[in-house]
Amino acid sequence: MEKVVLGVGQCCMDYFALSDGFPDENTKREAIELAIEGGGQVATALVSLARLGVNTRMIGIVAADRDGSEIIERFRKEGVSTEFMVVRDGGVSQRSFIIVNRQNGTRTILWQRPTVGVLSSEDVKEEAFCGVGFLLADGYMKEAILKALGIARREGIPAMIDADRMYPGMEELLPLVDYIVGSEDFACQVEPDPVKAAERLSRKYPDSCAITITIGLRGSITLYRGRLIEQPAYMVEDVVDTTGAGDVFHGGYIYGLLMGWEMERVLRFASAFAALKCRSLTGRKGIPTLEETLRFMETAKPHKP
């Protein structure tokens, strides 16, 4: 577990409002709870790994504003290295406003991209890969991700992409990753049926070790070495907020791979890890400990949609 997991992707500040149902347009409603937390797919996955005791490092971009300072400070408090974060003057960092429906834990997100631009290939430094044993990237900033994946491939570092959608240029990135972990939205842009989408991706990218499609309350399906693994989502009591569940799933997935577990156990752990996260507001507050997750796996029951 001495190797570093490097993340390259978006990071932001999330502003949350927990409400008893979604408010009607042009009305006022008192929030049950308000919260502020760092966010971003890769960013939250790294935080979840750091809480499991994994060394992590983030390459992302923020503005030299209050949110940018807070994003970096929250990384540091979690033990995520920020040495290679990019801070630019003259704009605002990425921000999201998230309304969470307490009745079912679903959320609606309004977000603003950073006005200081995106990571460039020049922002991804070779020295950031010193000691790295795994790379996690999203698909937003193609040139930066392309460089990162190229370095990882050259150095023999396994890489995973968090594919929530088929963004422009994604098809240049997918051949360079070992693990494709995509959302149902991503899969639907390949084939309407998740299993057929995974099969098609497997044929197109035969060098991938595994292709996983997350399908919400139905769990996930994975094509691994010619085998189809169906992993259910797990039930938890008092679901509050599903924000960040997919990000935590990625963190749990990578943890299992680093531990050398069989793929079935990797997926069970990732599913349990993500399910327990949903007990609290924000994408990070509810991230469980390793001990909690392992205990939960002993008695966890599949969710019944």
87-93: average pLDDT? 95
**Pairwise CA distance, residues 218 & 108, whole Å:** 20
Instruction: Tell me the three state secondary structure of residue 305.
Output: coil
Taking CA atoms, 88 is separated from 81, 132, 152, 297, in Å, by 18, 25, 26, 43
Q: Are 280 and 32 in contact (CB under 8 A)?
A: no
Locate 145 and state its tokens. Answer: 């991700």
Q: Exposure of 238 by Cβ count < 10 A (0-12 exposed, 13-18 middle, 19+ buried)?
A: exposed
Compute the distance between CA of residue 186 and CA of residue 193 in angstroms, rounded to an integer: 11
Tell me the pLDDT tens digit for each residue of 178-216: 999 999 999 999 999 999 999 999 999 998 999 999 998
Domains of the chain: 4-23+33-299 (3.40.1190.20)
Evaluate if residue 103 carries a pLDDT over 90: no
| Separation between Cα atoms, residue 204 and residue 201, nearest integer Å | 5
* Confidence label for 3 from pLDDT (cuts 50, 70 and 90): confident
The strand pairing partners of 174, in sequence order, are: none
Q: What percent of the chain has pLDDT over 90?
A: 86
Residue 185: CA count within 13 A, CB half-sphere: 7
Q: Burial level of 23, CB count in 10 A (0-12/13-18/19+)? A: middle
Query: Residue 192: how many CB atoms within 10 A of its CB?
Result: 10
Helix, strand or coil, per DSSP, at residue 91 = coil
Predicted local confidence at residue 280, as pLDDT: 94
DSSP string, 146-210: HHHHHHHHHHT--EEEEESS--TTHHHHGGG-SEEEE-HHHHHTT-SSHHHHHHHHHHH-TT-SE
pLDDT value for 305:
61
The per-residue pLDDT for 167 is: 83
How is residue 65 annotated by DSSP? S
Share of the chain above pLDDT 70, in %: 99
Checking if the pLDDT of 156 tops 80, the result is yes
* CA proximity to 6, closest of 145, 114, 142: 145
pLDDT of residue 59: 98
Joined together, the tokens standing for residue 236 give 């938890």
Task: Determine phi and psi for 95, rounding to 5 degrees.
Answer: -135, 150
- Whether 55 shows a pLDDT value over 70: the answer reads yes
Burial class (CB in 10 A: 0-12, 13-18, 19+), 296: middle
Q: Which of 92-96, 104-108, 127-131, 256-260 has the lowest mean pLDDT?
A: 104-108
Residue range 86-111: mean pLDDT, rounded: 92
Angle at 209 between CA 206 and CA 213, to 5 degrees: 95
Find the range with the poorest average confidence among 71-75, 169-173, 266-270: 169-173
* pLDDT(1) > 60: no
Is 277's pLDDT higher than 80?
yes
263-268 average pLDDT score: 97
Look at 57 and 217; give whichever has higher pLDDT.
Answer: 57
H-helix or E-strand spanning residue 268: helix 263-277
Q: What is the mean pLDDT of residues 211-239?
A: 93
Model pTM? 0.95
Question: What's the mean pLDDT when you consider all of the chain?
Answer: 94
